[in-house]
Structure formats: C-alpha cells, structure tokens
C-alpha cells in the first residue's frame, strides 16, 4: 500500500434520468492518500458521479475499477463493507431507533449470537467509536431523534468509517455543520489521508476546498472541466480560475455590493422591543428603511429564532415586535404589514415542493388576487410570469413543479413569492444556502435592488463573508444575545468576528 497508487478509476460514466442527462461521460481517477475536492454548480453532476461509485445508484453506461478490479456495487451497504462510503447531503439516518442501531445498520450480524442481536454489545461498540472521534457527548443507547441535524450528520460520519474504509466521500456536509462539527470532520479527513486512505470532498465553497484539499476536479453540466494539482491550487489567482471553470464565463460586475455607504433612512420599519421567548432574553433591534441588517453567528446562537420572531412565528413571553408601529402577533399580521420571510428550511418550510412554481409564487398574494371570491387563472399567470422573468427562473413555464428545479432556482422562487406580494420588509434566513456562485451573485444584486428601493432587509446567515459583503450593519450573536456590532467598512474581516462568536 503506497502513496499515489491509483485506487479508483471511473471511465466514461454516463447517467441519464429520463430525459435529463446528469453525466455526459465523465472520467475520474483517485489516488491513495489524497484529499480530492469536487466542485461545480448545482446540477453539474459532482454528487451524481460519487453516488454511483458509492453504490447509491448505477450508471447508465461506463466502467469503474476499484483496487484493480471491475467495480459494480449492488448497494450503499455493499460499497460500505468493501471500503467506499459516502456521507450524503440530506439526512440519512433512520428515525425511531437508537444511535447504535443506526451506526451498525446492515451489520447486525456482527453482534448476533443464536439469532438474537446483543443490543448491549452493539451499544458498547458504538460508544467506543463515538468516543474515538471525540463526540462522546452523543450516547449510543439514545434514540437518534433526540439529536439535532448536526449531531446526526456526525453519527453518519461514524457509521461510514469502518476498518475497511478506503475511500470516504463527503457530499456538501459542512454547510450543515457548526464550527465544532466542521473541526471534527476536517480532523478526521486529514487523519484518513495520513493513513493513505482517500477522501473526496464535494463542495461549492471554494475557500473550504482550497484549505483542505490536495487536488481538485471541477465539473460543469455533467462534464469534467479541469483537474488542478496542489501546485495549481497555491497560485494567487486560483479562486477566479476555479469560478471560471465552474460557470464557464468570466464573472462580470461585483460579487457583493461595492459601496461602503451605510447611510439609510431614519425611519424604523421593523423593531424588536425587549423581545423575550425561549432562550432569547430582552432582545432589541431596529431595522430601518433602505437598510440591510446582517445577523451572524454559529447555528444554535439564536439568530434563526430572531428571524422567526420578526415574522410572528414565535410566541413572545415579553416584549413585542413592531412593524411601522403596529404589533406583529402572527405571520398573518406580518404579511398584512408587508413583511416577507424566507425560511432557512427551503424545502420543508419556504416552498411547497409538490406544487407548481406558480402555486408557490402566488400563495401569499391570493387575497390580493381575488375579485369577490373569484380568483382568475389569468391574474395568477400574469403575476407569476412577471416574477419568473424578473428572477430568470430556469423553467419551461410556471406550471413546472418546484421539486424539478435546481437549488438555486428553488431559492429564486422563495424570493419571488415576496416580491410578487410587494413585501417591503424582508427577513431572509440563510438566503444563499445551497445556492451556487452564479446564482448567488444574482441574488446579491437583487438584494441590493431591494435596498435601493427603500426596503428594510434583515439578513441572517451562517456565512460571514456574505454578511460582511452585504450588510450596512452587522450583528454577531452568541448564546442567544448580541455579542458584537459592526458598521459597514472596507476593512472588516471574518477574523474580527470569530472571537464574538465562540
């Protein structure tokens, strides 16, 4: 077993879903001991190619070679037992059973004697693994539902890594993890690489890739656009080159906003006064017309709850949320007063996935569209078509279902809902989560348009760079309180804020 030995090869892999072509003949070669970055926009096929290698689905055509033999895994468990494991983007734990049962799902035989699974033995083994990865605060005997999304991701990680592991695929997992969770993951990745194992890190975060990977493959539209070595990745202008490879054109114009003028109106549109609920105590904030207020922090710092409270979704014990002087008690009030809310849980809260683009866009506007009790098809069409055009939503027409759209286009629909309604105070929670660079830039431009039109914007995000790039005023939260405040300036750096976060 030596370094640089080729462990896995995929040759001319094609994958078609009905009429959609996800991979148009992609080749990839993985070597022992490397941390390979896989980067590309949504729908570029970066997840697809590795999910084929990990046995989740099979290719339409093409060939794979693993450890010198033809590789055709029958299932993810089969691939896992033979050494290729993948941590998926979505939650992939089994609800309703214990942590230990999740970790050893499909491997119960190892703990079985006389046809009975020795639960205690399984729990002990699972706990030993959890302790080994320094996440011993998770108890193997607990029901998995007791843990949040982040912990469940870490549990998945433990499940993936067994003594046979040769290749670990991590699919956009870090966006779901907090600072600590990420560190656990990164440490593990480097440990594996040092032990001459292979890690594939799928991401669209260029900084993350540059920091941790030893080589990089860029995909676009189901094709490999380029491979970069460690030396390439250390060049000064490399981030722009990667972006160019990803989207196939130069990024023109500014990525974030370019001005450092944080003057806004004196008129307070949305105001939190002594807001107290859950673990939030006496929270105060004013958002003015034409102002972008950013809130940053680690997930679990309370910033998402603030967004919900601003939209009337939380029951306050004390204090009040005011919109133009009127109390916001429910989201129905909020909508009436012109507040729009983009939930961070795009697929479960912000959108009706099993509904058309039009159904989603017109939903908050239905009361405005009715004449008497009648809502005409034409009025719905006109409203949604206007927004589809404004946001350049890539679709055949408004009748296309939202679950067929890519992440970026889905997010455009959740924005379009509120521009269609004419909301002029917009609370956006993680507005660019799971959205690729091209669309991100477009969204930032839209947010700037909103600001220029005098709208008040509350932008909650886990990405500090985006908050620094967009906010007039930036708040950092820690332990359900505001721990730091920053004015817009060109000198602001994420490093200035980390201390206020952890």
CA angle 352, 358, 364 (to 5 degrees): 70
CB closer to other proteins, 359 vs 466? 359
Q: Least distance to other proteins from the beta carbon of 245, Å?
A: 20
Q: Which two tokens stand for residue 265?
A: 């109106």
Query: For other proteins, which is the closer residue by CB, 173 or 365?
Result: 365
**Shortest Å distance, C-beta 178 to other proteins:** 24
How many other CB atoms sit within 10 Å of the CB of residue 399?
Answer: 12
**Nearer CB in complex with other proteins: 220/451:** 220
Query: What stretches of 324-371 adopt beta strand conformation (E)?
Result: 326-327, 339-342
CB 210 to other proteins: min, Å: 30
Smallest separation (angstroms) from other proteins to the CB of 345: 8
CB of 155 to other proteins, least distance (A): 25
Q: How many residues does the chain have?
A: 502
Q: Could you tell me if 192 and 185 are in contact, meaning their C-beta atoms sit under 8 angstroms apart?
A: no
* CA 53 – CA 195 distance, rounded (Å): 21
Of 137 and 374, CB closest to other proteins: 374
Which one, 58 or 215, has the nearer CB to other proteins? 58
Give, in order, the Cα–Cα distances in Å from 14 to each of 23, 45, 404. 5, 10, 20
Q: Which is nearer to other proteins, 43 or 296 (CB)?
A: 43
Residue with smaller CB distance to other proteins, 273 or 400:
400
* Min CB(71)–other proteins separation in Å: 24
Q: Which one, 133 or 337, has the nearer CB to other proteins?
A: 337
> Could you list the residues that contact other proteins (CB under 8 A)?
18-20, 311, 313, 331-332, 335, 341, 343, 348-356, 359, 363-364, 366-367, 370, 373-376, 394-397, 399-401, 404, 417
Q: Which is nearer to other proteins, 417 or 488 (CB)?
A: 417
319-325 long-range contacts (CB < 8 A, ≥24 apart) are: 319/272, 319/273, 319/274, 319/275, 319/276, 319/282, 319/283, 320/273, 320/274, 320/275, 321/270, 321/271, 321/272, 321/273, 321/275, 322/270, 322/271, 322/273, 323/269, 323/270, 323/271, 323/425, 324/269
Reference 52, options 225, 222, 220, 210; nearest CA is: 222
Quick check: 431 and 439 in contact, CB under 8 A?
no
List b or e across 148-179, with b for residues whose CB sees 16 or more CB atoms inside 10 angstroms: eebbbbbbbbbbbbeeebbbbbbbbbbbbbbe
Whichever of 13 and 350 has its CB closer to other proteins, that residue is 350
| Minimum CB–partner distance for residue 349 and other proteins (Å) | 5
Residues 6+ apart with CB under 8 A from 349: 343
Query: What distance in Å separates the CA atoms of residue 314 and residue 86, rounded to the nearest whole number?
Result: 37
Question: Quick one: which H or E segment has residue 386?
Answer: helix 377-390
- Least separation in angstroms between residue 393's CB and other proteins is 10
Minimum CB distance to other proteins, residue 293 (Å): 21
Residue 30 CB, nearest approach to other proteins (Å): 29
Q: Burial level of 123, CB count in 10 A (0-12/13-18/19+)?
A: buried
């Amino acid at each position: 077993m030596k370094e640089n030995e080729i462990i896995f090869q995929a040759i001319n892999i094609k994958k078609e879903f009905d009429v959609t072509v996800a991979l148009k003949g992609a080749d990839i070669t993985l070597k022992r001991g490397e941390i390979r970055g896989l980067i590309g926009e949504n729908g570029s096929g970066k997840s697809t190619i590795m999910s084929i290698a990990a046995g989740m689905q099979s290719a339409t055509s093409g060939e794979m070679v693993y450890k010198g033999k033809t590789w055709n895994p029958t299932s993810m468990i089969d691939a896992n037992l033979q050494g290729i494991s993948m941590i998926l983007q979505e939650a992939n734990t089994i609800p309703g059973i214990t942590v230990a049962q999740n970790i050893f799902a499909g491997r119960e035989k190892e703990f079985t004697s006389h046809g009975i699974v020795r639960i205690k033995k399984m729990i002990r083994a699972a706990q030993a693994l959890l302790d080994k990865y320094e996440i011993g605060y998770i108890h193997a005997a607990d029901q998995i539902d007791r843990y949040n999304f982040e912990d469940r991701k870490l549990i998945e990680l433990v499940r993936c890594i067994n003594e046979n592991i040769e290749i670990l695929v991590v699919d956009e997992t870090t966006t779901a993890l907090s600072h600590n969770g990420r560190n656990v993951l990164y440490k593990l990745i480097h440990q594996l690489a040092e032990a001459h194992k292979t890690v594939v890190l799928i991401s669209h975060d260029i900084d993350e890739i540059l920091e941790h990977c030893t080589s990089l493959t860029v995909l676009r539209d189901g094709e490999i656009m380029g491979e970069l070595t460690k030396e390439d990745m250390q060049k000064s202008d490399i981030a722009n080159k990667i972006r160019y490879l990803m989207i196939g054109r130069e990024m023109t114009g500014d990525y974030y906003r370019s001005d450092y003028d944080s003057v806004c109106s004196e008129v307070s549109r949305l105001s939190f006064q002594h807001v107290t609920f859950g673990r939030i105590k006496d929270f105060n904030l004013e958002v003015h017309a034409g102002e972008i207020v950013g809130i940053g922090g680690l997930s679990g710092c309370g910033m998402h709850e603030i967004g919900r409270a601003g939209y009337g979704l939380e029951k306050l014990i004390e204090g009040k949320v005011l919109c133009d002087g009127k109390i916001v008690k429910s989201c129905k009030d909020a909508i009436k007063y012109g507040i729009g809310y983009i939930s961070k849980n795009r697929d479960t809260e912000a959108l009706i996935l099993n509904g058309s683009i039009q159904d989603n866009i017109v939903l908050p506007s239905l009361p405005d569209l009715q004449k008497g009790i009648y809502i005409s098809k034409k009025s719905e069409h006109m409203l949604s078509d206007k927004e589809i055009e404004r946001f350049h939503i890539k679709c055949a027409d408004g009748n296309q279902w939202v679950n067929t759209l890519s992440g970026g286009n889905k997010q455009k629909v959740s924005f379009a809902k509120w521009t269609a309604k004419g909301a002029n105070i917009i609370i956006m929670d993680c507005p660019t989560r799971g959205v690729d660079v091209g669309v991100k830039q477009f969204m930032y431009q839209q947010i700037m348009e909103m600001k220029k039109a005098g709208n008040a914007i509350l932008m909650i995000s886990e990405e500090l760079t985006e908050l620094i790039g967009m906010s007039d005023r930036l708040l950092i939260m820690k332990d359900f309180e505001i721990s730091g405040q920053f004015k817009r300036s060109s000198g602001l750096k994420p490093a200035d804020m980390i201390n206020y976060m952890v």
